[in-house]
Amino acid sequence: MIYQVDRIVRDVRVCLDENRTDNALLDAGDSETLTLDEIIRSKVLQGVDYVHSLAPYRLLEQGHNFEGVSDAVYWQDQASGFVLLPDDFLRLVVFEMSDWERPVFVPITTDDVRYKHQRSRWKGLRGTVQRPVCAVVQRPEGLSLEFYSCRDEEATITRAVYIPKAAIDENNGVDVSEKCYEAVTYAVAWLVLATTGEAERAEVMKEKALNLLGIEKQ
């Protein structure tokens, strides 16, 4: 759902207990609070990305298809391969090859102990069509999604969906999953308070954002 940045700023100010109208601010000449609005605006995209990167899939809206990915599979040994990820890639929603028995929703990274098995000379130690594995890795070609493995190189991509990084559109709107919106306002409030040096209040806002996502603070 598209939310106007002005609305997000207003709702974050509610979280901060600073909910006064712009007209009142201008009349009062409150330059400090006007600066606060600017800080809020500067943290909106970061807050959206933070929440979207952590939110359970049930709270996320439909993602975006990888553009042109079906024609851009780079095959490697033993019927494994990779695709280049979009420049605005934030998080994988689902990836599936045509001969897999199930899709992958959560990719691993190179830090995962399972990643080294994907490079084994023994195909049985890698991801298989029954239990496929995907990894988000930085390659010389760019950020990529490696997949392991297919029966052969005749396989094609059947699903490739991701959540993009937040961006402000030409109408000053931002795409935010509706069920994540309240968590986003608290996340932005957390980032604002951290910027203004109010560490204790910042942690309270962060905890509220995580609670709304059903995530316990670490």
- Look at residue 185 and tell me if it is in a domain: yes
72 and 156, same structural domain?
A: yes
Beta carbons of 129 and 96 less than 8 angstroms apart: no
Residues 6+ apart with CB under 8 A from 204: none
Q: What is the pLDDT of residue 120?
A: 81
196 and 147, same structural domain?
A: no
120 and 101, same structural domain?
A: yes
- Look at residue 134 and tell me if it is in a domain: yes
55 and 68, same structural domain?
A: no
Q: What is the pLDDT of residue 123?
A: 75
- Look at residue 150 and tell me if it is in a domain: yes
- Look at residue 170 and tell me if it is in a domain: no
Q: What is the pLDDT of residue 31?
A: 52
Distance CA 181, CA 216 (A): 18
Q: What is the pLDDT of residue 71?
A: 64
Given CA atoms 118, 65, 88, 183 in this order, what sign does their dihedral have? negative
Q: What is the pLDDT of residue 169?
A: 96
Instruction: Read off the amino acid at residue 151.
Output: R
Write out pLDDT tens, residues 160-172. 999 999 999 999 9
For the chain, residues with pLDDT lower than 50 are 19-29
Q: Number of folded domains in the chain?
A: 2
Q: What is the pLDDT of residue 100?
A: 97
3-state secondary structure of 134: strand
182 and 159, same structural domain?
A: no
Domain that holds residue 102: 64-164
- Look at residue 56 and tell me if it is in a domain: yes
102 and 40, same structural domain?
A: no
- Look at residue 172 and tell me if it is in a domain: no
7 and 92, same structural domain?
A: no
101 and 33, same structural domain?
A: no
154 and 76, same structural domain?
A: yes
- Look at residue 193 and tell me if it is in a domain: yes
- Residue 180 burial class via C-beta count within 10 angstroms: exposed 0-12, middle 13-18, buried 19 and up: buried
22 and 34, same structural domain?
A: yes
Q: What is the pLDDT of residue 27?
A: 42
Q: Residue 90's closest CA among 66, 71, 126, 116?
A: 66
- Look at residue 169 and tell me if it is in a domain: no
Q: What is the pLDDT of residue 119?
A: 83
71 and 159, same structural domain?
A: yes
